[in-house]
């Protein structure tokens, strides 16, 4: 998520001054909570902060007390927001759950977890981190491995941000780029037309590549966190890109346009739709009655997010399980994937 990027930016500024900060991490929840384990908040000595561990309910308390709480080292702070809980009335909380927050000082010479977040982002390789929650071992971590079953721990997999391959540099690509960057995703824009794929038009993009799309699609590297959309409005370019992207293990491949056009593209590319499932989404986007570039971008980005989380994008009011993704697992030791966006 984008908040990891914001945390790293704030930490970079603090680290350059030689100062320390307090890092708060949600490591365990029960009942309802606004954030899942893995949510983080960085607090500076001067009151600056980045990230969130709640919907804003707990942050003020942490700003006031986290510094003296961590004077003697790392500790767990328990917030009981249930109706009978000890802090529900004090904070005016309505989450009806219990949240355990790990608080620890991080300094220029002792910021391993923040370094790991940056490393995952830069190398695009996931890392497993086990945060030991045993009372006499608070603050200990195991890097690259899960904790033993008999040791209570929060185990998280730090993953890179989503990389969106955006084929098409028309005017409707700009809202798609903007929404993706708002979420903290990495975005590369491709188009074979130099007067479309201009850097001044896509300032937020990580890369803007002008090249024949078949050549660009064949050369681009992908990983488990890569998704792609075809929206060049050029049948030839979409066809060329589709032929190459169909060879890559994408989590999501969306095609803009009506179903009839997509069916013809697949036919002309010699591809069976079933072979590309479940990655293929054609027409792409959730059914929100989208009209216009901004709404189409919203529908597509929302569908990508739902797909990556194993959801179908239905109405929350009609669901019966957790509104979060993924579903909570065993409380003693569980894995949560955290995108270092």
Q: How far is the C-alpha of 193 from the C-alpha of 206, rounded, in Å?
A: 18
Tokens of 175: 């809202």
What's the rounded Cα separation, in Å, for the pair 246 and 250? 8
Note the pLDDT of residue 318. 87
Render each residue's pLDDT in the chain as its tens digit; 341 residues.
789 999 999 999 999 999 999 999 999 998 878 889 999 999 999 999 999 998 888 999 999 999 999 999 999 999 988 766 555 455 555 567 899 999 999 999 889 999 999 999 999 999 999 999 999 999 999 999 888 889 999 999 999 999 999 999 999 999 999 999 999 999 999 999 999 999 999 999 999 999 999 999 999 999 999 999 999 999 999 999 999 999 999 999 999 999 999 999 999 999 999 999 999 999 999 999 999 999 999 999 999 999 999 998 989 888 877 777 654 433 334 456 666 76
Q: Helix (H) and strand (E) counts for the chain?
A: 10, 15
Q: What angle do CA 258, 292, 250 make, to 5 degrees?
A: 55
Distance separating alpha carbons of residues 55 and 33, to the nearest angstrom: 9
- Tell how far CA 303 is from the center of its chain: 14
Edge-to-edge strands of the sheet including 280-281?
207-210, 186-191, 163-167, 226-230, 252-255, 280-281
pTM (2 decimals)? 0.90
Query: Cα(106)–Cα(42) distance, rounded to whole angstroms?
Result: 9
3-state helix/strand/coil string of 113-160: HHHHHHHHHHHCCCEEEEEECCHHHCCCEEECCCCCCCCCEEEEEEEC
Task: Say whether the peptide bond before residue 283 is cis (omega within 30 degrees of 0).
Answer: yes
Over the stretch 70-119, which tens digit does the pLDDT of each residue have? 999 999 999 988 766 555 455 555 567 899 999 999 999 889 999 999 99
Burial of 292 (0-12, 13-18, 19+ CB in 10 A): exposed
Structure tokens at 185: 């995703």
Token pair recorded at residue 320:
């019966």
- Domain-wise residue ranges, the chain: 2-127, 163-308
Per the CB < 8 A criterion, the answer to whether 176 and 231 are in contact is yes
Strand, coil or helix: what is 77? strand
Instruction: Please give the CATH topology (third level) of the domain spanning 163-308.
Output: Rossmann fold (3.40.50)
Q: Choose among 303, 293, 305, 312: nearest CA to 231.
A: 293
Return the DSSP state at 62. H
Q: Where are the alpha helices (DSSP H) in the chain?
A: 2-16, 59-69, 88-91, 112-123, 173-182, 213-219, 235-245, 259-268, 273-276, 293-308
What is the model's pLDDT at position 216? Answer: 97
């Amino acid at each position: 998520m984008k908040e990891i990027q914001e945390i790293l930016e704030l930490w970079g500024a603090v680290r350059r001054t030689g100062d320390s900060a307090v890092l708060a991490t949600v490591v365990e929840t029960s009942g309802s909570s606004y954030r899942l384990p893995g949510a983080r908040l960085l607090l500076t000595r001067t009151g600056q902060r980045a990230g969130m561990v709640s919907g804003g309910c707990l942050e003020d308390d942490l700003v006031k007390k986290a510094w003296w709480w961590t004077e003697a080292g790392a500790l767990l702070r328990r917030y009981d927001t249930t109706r009978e809980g000890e802090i529900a009335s004090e904070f005016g909380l309505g989450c009806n759950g219990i949240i355990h927050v790990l608080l620890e000082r991080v300094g220029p010479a002792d910021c391993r977890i923040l370094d790991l977040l940056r490393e995952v982002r830069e190398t695009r390789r996931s890392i497993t981190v086990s945060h030991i929650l045993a009372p006499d071992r608070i603050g200990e971590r195991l890097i690259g491995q899960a904790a033993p079953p008999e040791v209570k721990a929060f185990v998280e997999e730090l993953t890179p941000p989503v990389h969106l391959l955006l084929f098409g540099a028309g005017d409707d690509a700009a809202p798609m780029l903007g929404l993706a960057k708002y979420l903290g995703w990495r975005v590369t824009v491709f188009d074979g037309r130099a007067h479309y794929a201009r850097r001044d038009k896509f300032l937020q993009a990580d890369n803007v590549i002008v090249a024949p799309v078949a050549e660009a699609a064949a050369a681009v590297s992908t990983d488990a966190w890569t998704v792609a959309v075809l929206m060049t409005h050029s049948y030839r370019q979409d066809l060329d890109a589709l032929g190459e992207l169909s060879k890559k293990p994408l989590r999501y491949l969306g095609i803009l346009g009506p179903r009839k056009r997509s069916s013809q593209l697949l036919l002309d590319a010699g591809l069976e739709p079933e072979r590309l499932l479940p990655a293929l989404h054609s027409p792409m986007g959730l059914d929100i009655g989208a009209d216009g570039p901004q709404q189409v971008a919203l529908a597509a980005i929302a569908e990508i997010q739902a797909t990556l989380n194993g959801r179908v994008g239905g109405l929350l009011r009609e669901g019966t399980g957790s509104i979060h993704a993924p579903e909570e697992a065993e409380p003693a030791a569980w894995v949560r994937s955290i995108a270092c966006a």
